[in-house]
Amino acid sequence: MIYPLLPLFLTRVLGAGAMSLGLIEGFAEAANSVLKVAAGRLADRTGAPKRIVIAGYALSGLVRPLIAFVASWTQLFALRFVDRLGKGIRGAPRDAMLAHFAAPEIRGRAFGFHRAMDHAGAVLGPLLASLFLYFYPGEYRTLFALTIIPGVIVVAILLRVPDVRLRTSEPRVSEAPPVPEEPRVSEEPQASRRTFWSAIVVVFLFSLGNASDAFLLLRMSDLGIAAFWIPLLWSALHVVKVASSVIGGDLSDRMGRRTLIGAGWMIYALVYAGFGFIDSKAAVIAIFLVYGLFFGLTEGVEKAWIADITPVSARGTAFGIYNAALGVGSLIASIMFGLIWTRVSPSAAFLTGAALAVVSTGLLYLLFSPRRNEQDSGHQR
């Protein structure tokens, strides 16, 4: 309900600009991602992630409604920062729980389904926001205050979810069954660490061009798309994410993680190039919806990939490092994007992101061979 309206609220109500948007979103995402390392380590150490997950959701649910009372972009910055801290607390322990429950041969599908459900919520939220703004135009603050309702419901549901104990003595998933005539990469600790850190480096490089999606919304607004349609388009984007996340995760179980991730990154490059070159409202809307395929082919698949190459006892930490890389990259990308947007042009900012995506895809294919791609995917022959 909140996210697609933040650029409009920031620029039209609080009177801030694109640079402020970049700082808010960049630091907010970096904070949540770096905190995931500590939360992931704590989940590994205790073996009981449920309480950490509940604490994270509760913090975000309590802070978001307070956005209704801000009077400056700096206050919005502070609340958005704390909101993302809640996300940082819950993210890695939740992912470790999902990896624990999912068998290797369906891990991509499981993480894809998780992302699909997350995006399904992001479909309903903007629809409710648009409905509210249709009857109460410009009442952003009242809408933000009402987000206390889903926040309370989330915590109530989580309290009924059974707890889980992560079995740190469990054999590594990648040990069985091995690929005939060639040991699996993750059977050797040194090779496993090299594979993991190589993956983190490539993901981090891509994230340097992956600025906040708020810039896409701001670009559409600048092209003349009315505020009423922005939440609806955001909701439509998540419909694409829902469908493609399930399909993408399932395909990665059969085709390998690298293939799907590489395809998703190239779609990202094409979308950003389109936003850089095209000024037509209809064309930009179409490209924006295609953007949803990028998430379906990468979000759940990347997490399944991290689970594949990481032992059970270290998955919380691994997911924390992975998300920290994404967050720090997002911070740099959003600040850099805002600077290029204001000092050069929006087109130059989008084309920079597209170029980094192309370079990252090339490195993905250079560092990870097709053989390793199959091994790391957990694909069972």
Q: Does some domain include residue 213?
A: yes
- Tell whether 283 is covered by a domain: yes
Output the pLDDT for position 16: 76
Band of the pLDDT at 287, cuts 50, 70, 90?
Answer: very high
Residue 356: per-residue pLDDT: 95
Place of tokens 């791609």: 373
Pick 52 or 122 by higher pLDDT. 52
How much is the average pLDDT of 71-84? 85
The backbone region for 183, taken as left when phi is positive above 0, alpha when psi lies in -120 to 50, beta otherwise, is beta
Residue 262 has pLDDT above 70, yes or no: yes
80 has pLDDT over 90: no
CATH code, domain with 255: 1.20.1250.20
* Higher per-residue confidence, 104 vs 176: 104
Give the model confidence (pLDDT) of 32-47 as tens digits. Answer: 767 878 888 888 888 7
Residue 85 lies in a domain: yes
- Rounded percentage of the chain residues whose pLDDT exceeds 90: 22
Q: Which pair of tokens denotes residue 354?
A: 């597209």
Q: What is the mean pLDDT of residues 190-208?
A: 85
Domain assignment present for residue 274? The answer is: yes
Give the pLDDT confidence score for residue 85 in this predicted structure: 86
Q: Is residue 355 very low, low, confident or very high in pLDDT (cuts 50, 70, 90)? A: very high
pLDDT of residue 189: 53
What is the structure's pLDDT at 167?
55
| Mean pLDDT value across residues 347-352 | 92
pLDDT number for residue 274? 92
- Predicted confidence at residue 134, as pLDDT, reads 84
pLDDT of residue 152 exceeding 80, the answer is yes
Instruction: Please indicate whether residue 234 or residue 173 has the higher confidence score (pLDDT).
Output: 234
Q: Point out the least confidently predicted range of 136-150, 166-180, 243-257.
A: 166-180
For residue 205, the model assigns a pLDDT of: 94
Is the predicted pLDDT of residue 191 greater than 60, yes or no? no
Mean pLDDT in the chain?
82
Rounded percentage of the chain residues whose pLDDT exceeds 70: 87
pLDDT value of residue 380: 38
Q: Is residue 106 part of a domain?
A: yes
Per-residue pLDDT at 174: 39
Of the two residues 232 and 181, the one the predictor is more confident about is 232
Within-domain flag for 257: yes
Mean pLDDT, range 20-38, rounded to an integer: 74
Q: State residue 130's pLDDT score.
A: 81
Residue 99 maps to a domain: yes
pLDDT band for position 291 (50/70/90)?
Answer: very high
Please give the pLDDT value at position 179. 31
How many domains in the chain? 1
Whether residue 381 lies inside any domain: the answer is no
pLDDT score for 208: 93
For residue 77, the model assigns a pLDDT of: 84
pLDDT tens digits for range 363-379: 998 888 655 454 444 44
Which domain, by its residues, includes 105?
Answer: 3-160+188-376
